[in-house]
Structure 1
Amino acid sequence: MAETKRVERPLSPFMLGQYYRVQMTSMSSIVTRITGNALIASFFLGAWWLLAAVTSKEYFDFVNWIATSWIGWLIWIGSAWAIWYHYLAGLRHLLWDAGKGLEIGIAEKLGWACVIGSVVLTALTIVFVMV
């Protein structure tokens, strides 16, 4: 029987470190999935707030206090960023579905555009809400 030489290599591309270099395209894909799922927190906070509004004044005051506390604002601001990031990443995928921007250099620039654009749009959203 022929002897086979065992090749030592990583089992998964997610073995970060010495085997796999972190790339913008893979990280932006992961963040897109995380932001999509993280938006559930703001949905539940908003739904809880609306349900409290139809329950009683005391319960609404309690939920409104939570929604407008620093934790609530942190959730709202994080959700605004997640919405903008997820939106821009969706536009990027729409561009990719059209067969454009698939070169590695352009794909990385589009990933950075999603990050920078989402931060700028979140800041503009905060300014717009505060005025």
Structure 2
Amino acid sequence: MADVNRGKRPLSPFMIGPYYRPQITSISSIMVRITGIVSFGTAFLIICWLLAAATSEAAFGWFNWLLTSLIGDVIMALATWAIWYHVLGRLRHVIWDFGYCLDLETSEKMGWGMFIGATVLALFTFVVV
């Protein structure tokens, strides 16, 4: 049967604006996906650093400069936060898979806890390491 309302309804529930109000649960879920991609990119950067160390002194010097410069420190700080956030997001999903904390109020608290927890854990990682 043809859909007669096709042109009159929003295209996606993820359209931020007049059709959809961002919620901490949806933003935290999207951020888990983004931090997973960032973590993969960070792993790729570290693998390139190791391959450069195995290849030549000039290549290793460039990658080592990149990772130990201010730019590298910022990249590694953001990557550390992303890894912690992704870990906490996966933990949240494991808890949900067991059927716990599924009510809206607890889910929102867990979303805020992920942002705060990742920040605290990233700062802790930099202080200890």
State the TM-score, normalizing by the size of structure 2: 0.90
More helix as a share of residues: 2
Q: Which residue of 2 aligns with 1:61?
A: 61
Equivalent residue of 1:12, what SS? coil
- The alpha carbon displacement at 1:5 in A equals 8.1
- CA-based RMSD of the aligned residues comes to 1.7
Among all aligned residue pairs of Structure 1 and Structure 2, give the percentage whose two residues are the same amino acid.
51
Which structure has the larger Rg over C-alpha atoms? 1
Q: Which residue of 1 aligns with 2:33?
A: 33
> Alpha-carbon deviations, 1:59-118, whole Å to 9, x = none?
211210011112211211111001100000111101000101000010000000000000
Q: Which residue of 2 aligns with 1:72?
A: 72
**Stretches of structure 1 lacking an aligned partner (at least 5 in a row):** none
Aligned length: 126
Letter in 1 for 2:100: K
Q: CA 1:95–1:45 in 2, change beyond 3 Å: closer, same or farther?
A: same
Q: 2: distance between equivalents of 1:115 and 1:17?
A: 23
- The alpha carbon displacement at 1:7 in A equals 8.8
Equivalent residue of 1:54, what SS? helix
